Amino acid sequence: MKITMIGTGYVGLVSGVCFSDFGHDVVCVDRDPAKIEMLNAGKVPIYEPGLDELMAKNVEAGRLVFTTDLAAGVTGADAVFIAVGTPTRRGDGHADLSFVYAAAEDIAKACAEAGNPYTVIVTKSTVPLGTNRQVKQVIRKAAPDLVFDVASNPEFLREGAAIDDFMKPDRVVVGVQSDRAAEVMEEVYRPLYLRDFPIITTDLESAEMIKYAANAFLATKITFINEIAALCEKTGADVKQVSRGMGMDGRIGNKFLHAGPGYGGSCFPKDTSALARIGQEHAVPMHITETVMRVNDGVKLRMIEKVRDLCEGSFNGKTIAVLGVTFKPNTDDMRDAPSLTIVPALVGGGAKVRVVDPQGAREGKALLPGVQWGDDPYKAVQNADAVVILTEWNEFRALDLKKLAKKMASARMADLRNIYSAKDAKRAGFDAYVSIGRQGFE
Ligand code: NAD
């Protein structure tokens, strides 16, 4: 099969590389020449574990190429995937579909010019209900004689574990309108199908809805446990024990039940916002999702107050070391990370902030002005008044707490990922320790 992937971001690049590893011939197209130049030089523009090796292997095998030339890229393609961004539209919270429609129009013209006999144009980007039908109209208008079908194939991979998620998915969702398109999509995913990974075929709208409903549900689960955590703090319960006890119930499950500083990232904030908008447009308010968004904003603000309390009521003049700023470990993605709310509050309150993150600096430097970047947690805490763990990178999971405490001016820790415990902190000589949904000491 010949596959074209439009967009080489977190989703497009991983999908393109994995499809080529399935044995398909893949052309990855991006309009950003700097990205394509990097890729052609064998460099991966994002941080995603394992991606560089898998990419090199498939480039070497001649199955994977990168170009900015969309017209050349789609020639002879059986399927063209749209994996461009769908960020939140400024002002109204809706998904900005301008990149998707622009790509659809370009693809239509290029496929027609190339004389492709039949092409399935597949939306992999997360798009609101009705978008795929609209994409079909855009294509028809741009290339009235083109023989094509549209398909909706939302992506569920998680950054940081993206290759495994793509290669061993819980399910693949394919929304189609014709048997012909379904057959092409079956062929695309045949290697997964042969290994018994479930592929479910739906109509276009259900596929679009599955993605939003899944993300909103996961955001709800995280937010639920974060709210329970706040109550645990006031009542003496320990949220780690509570989520363990809850998660053992097969109906609930233990995933996405870890209390933390609020959800962030490239998907949950924008997808919950878009779902809320879709609901409003159809006069079916998404009350639960809207509440989740509001509660999550409050969770992030609660973190600021937690750190302020730890700093005896004021950030002014304090030196604070922040460990981790990406929205989760094993990614360099900073989009909507809780750190973008929390760190500026510390800086704005007059603190001197030192940040350590294994991959966050490249994006983070522009997003977090006024902080000092370092690469060693022990250096960052030197004479500091507090240390805040914001992202649970492996590098921060087994810190020598004694060494850390000794270096600090006053040994205070806000462990916003519940990596350590009050007992660990006390034993190591910390003067104060707070975490989420558990008893600390100050
Ligand atoms: P991204 O911003 O990392 O990448 C998008 C890429 O598309 C960029 O490289 C951009 O240059 C390119 N692009 C935009 N318009 C183009 C055009 N007309 N022609 C060629 N290239 C073009 O985005 P992402 O994080 O990969 O997300 C893509 C989509 O996948 C979004 O809809 C997102 O919601 C969805 N998604 C993302 C994740 C994730 O973890 N990041 C997971 C599942 C689904």
| Ordered per-residue pLDDT tens for the chain, 442 residues | 999 999 999 999 999 999 999 999 999 999 999 999 999 999 999 999 999 999 999 999 999 999 999 999 999 999 999 999 999 998 899 999 999 999 999 999 999 999 999 999 999 999 999 999 999 999 999 999 999 999 999 999 999 999 999 999 999 999 999 999 999 999 999 999 999 999 999 999 999 999 999 999 999 999 999 999 999 999 999 999 999 999 999 999 999 999 999 999 999 999 999 999 999 999 999 999 999 999 999 999 999 999 999 999 999 999 999 999 999 999 999 999 999 999 999 999 999 999 999 999 999 999 999 999 999 999 999 999 999 999 999 999 999 999 999 999 999 999 999 999 999 999 999 999 999 999 999 9
399 annotated among ligand-binding-site residues = no
Query: How far is Cα 97 from Cα 125, in angstroms, rounded to an integer?
Result: 10
CB-defined site of ligand 1, < 6 Å = 6-12, 29-32, 35, 83-86, 99, 102-103, 106, 125-126, 155, 157, 159, 266-267
Q: How far is the CA of 86 from the centre of ligand 1 (A)?
A: 7
Q: Is the dihedral of CA 197, 198, 199, 205 positive or negative?
A: negative
Q: How far is the CA of 129 from the centre of ligand 1 (A)?
A: 18
Look up tokens 């991006």; give the residue.
30
Q: How far is the CA of 159 from the centre of ligand 1 (A)?
A: 12
Q: Ligand 1, residues 4, 5, 6, 11: which to mutate, most atoms within 8 A of Cβ?
A: 11
Q: Ligand 1 atom closest to Cα of 46?
A: 3
Contacts of 181 (CB under 8 A, 6+ apart): 120, 149, 150, 151
Q: How many helices (H) and strands (E) does the chain have?
A: 18, 14
Q: Ligand 1, residues 30, 121, 326: which to mutate, most atoms within 8 A of Cβ?
A: 30
What type of residue is 185? M
Closest Cα to atom 38 of ligand 1: 11
Q: Across-strand partners of 268?
A: none
Closest Cα to atom 29 of ligand 1: 125
Phi/psi region, residue 92 (left: phi>0; alpha: psi -120 to 50; beta: rest), is alpha
Confirm whether 267 is a catalytic residue.
Answer: yes
- What one-character-per-residue DSSP string does 236-270 give? T--HHHHHHHHHTSTTT-STT----S---SSSHHH
Backbone angles phi, psi at 79, to 5 degrees: -140, 135
Closest Cα to atom 30 of ligand 1: 125
Contacts of 280 (CB under 8 A, 6+ apart): 286
Length of the chain: 442
Tell me the residue ranges of DSSP E strands in 7-147.
25-29, 64-67, 79-82, 119-123
Residue 189's SS3 state is coil
Q: How far is the CA of 157 from the centre of ligand 1 (A)?
A: 13
pTM metric for this prediction:
0.96
pLDDT at 195: 92
332 annotated among ligand-binding-site residues = no
Query: How far is Cα 289 from Cα 303, in angstroms, rounded to an integer?
Result: 21
Q: Ligand 1, residues 4, 6, 10: which to mutate, most atoms within 8 A of Cβ?
A: 10
Of 411, 128, 391, 126, give the one whose Cα is nearest residue 260: 391
Closest Cα to atom 3 of ligand 1: 9
Q: Across-strand partners of 415?
A: 389
Look up tokens 């009521």; give the residue.
313
Domains by residue range for the chain, with CATH: 2-202 (3.40.50.720), 238-442 (3.40.50.720)
Contacts of 305 (CB under 8 A, 6+ apart): none
Neighbour-count burial of 366, counting CB atoms closer than 10 A to its CB (0-12 exposed, 13-18 middle, 19+ buried) = exposed
